[in-house]
Amino acid sequence: MKPFKYLPKALQTLLLANAAVFIIAFLGRGLEINLGAGYGSLTDYISYYGAFMPRVPLELWRYVTYMFIHFDFMHFFFNMLMLWMFGSEVAEWMGSRHFISMYFFCGIFAALFSFFMCLLGLTNNPIIGASGALMGVFVAYYKFFPDRVILMFFVIPMRIKNAMWVMIALDILFANSGDMIAHFAHLGGVVAGFLYMAVFQNGPKVLYNSPLSAIFRLFSSNPEKYNRGRSSRSSRSDSVEEPEVLEGEVFYVNEQKRMDEILKKVEREGLQSLSESERDFLLKAGDKLRRRRGGF
């Protein structure tokens, strides 16, 4: 696991927001207040107004607020641990904008999925926690690194491409078990994760003019690329000539400027947005930096 200060800013923000709500809820257990629904603790009010209630689907703020509410320490700890472990590389690979948009899309879709299951009479329980959004992060990790080995249940070594389907099977199996786990929200997060990743990896080939494509255009620094096929993007990038390499101090200044631009692009759009020439530049620049510092 990476130290917190090296995590992408988007992931840091999510972790801090969840931690802040958990601390407020923990400290508010003994604070009696009356905000219009009778006397109760601050924690009770956070649950009353923040949890997602399938029976009141038009209270739209709940589709977001429920994702940040954890009352049980182990629930909070394991959700944040998983978000830290898997979200770090996913955020770096996708870029902060897409990571945040995917996270909220999956969390909101998970709540909607639970609402539709409520209409079918399969669930009626309030939902709290980041698990729905987190399942979308798992799907992205599965798509990017299918052969990575993880410890399933912290014990069993398993490739993520197999572990993903084990988690889905378990949620289906225990969906109506009454174990107080929001299995339908998990499944909704999985469905949303696959939808989002289909558009992210294939661009306008999938769901070309769908609301998902609109979300991509909204969060992208280059929305035009979601209006054209990959072939046009690749041909455009291939036709761009690399700047002539200059020597001496002028080259060093230009090199540093280009490095900064590429790093900003990684932060916005992720590692996989880089062209081959940009990847080569980063590798060569890293070698030069190591030589300047006397490395090998």
Q: Give the pLDDT confidence of 95-138 residue by residue, as tens digits.
A: 888 999 999 999 999 999 999 998 988 888 899 999 999 999 99
pTM: 0.72
The pLDDT assigned to 80 comes to 96
Query: Is 246 part of a structural domain of the chain?
Result: no
The pLDDT assigned to 122 comes to 84
Query: Is 241 part of a structural domain of the chain?
Result: no
Query: Is 239 part of a structural domain of the chain?
Result: no
Domain that holds residue 18: 9-213
The rounded average pLDDT for each run of 10 residues, N- to C-terminus, in the chain (296 residues) is 89 96 90 72 89 91 96 94 93 90 96 92 88 95 92 88 93 84 93 93 58 59 53 41 45 63 68 68 63 52
Query: Is 83 part of a structural domain of the chain?
Result: yes
Tell me the per-residue pLDDT of 281-290, one tens digit each, with 9 for 90 and over: 666 666 665 5
**Among 159, 194, 213, which residue terminates a domain?**
213
The pLDDT assigned to 63 comes to 96
Q: Is 164 in contact with 138 (CB distance < 8 Å)?
A: yes
How many structural domains compose the chain? 2
Using only C-alpha atoms, the chain has a radius of gyration, in whole angstroms, of 22
Q: What is the sign of the dihedral through the CA atoms of 67, 71, 72 and 76?
A: positive
Domain CATH number, residue 69? 1.20.1540.10
Terminal CA-CA length for the chain: 25
The pLDDT assigned to 233 comes to 41
Q: Is 50 in contact with 69 (CB distance < 8 Å)?
A: yes
Distance CA 296, CA 286 (A): 11
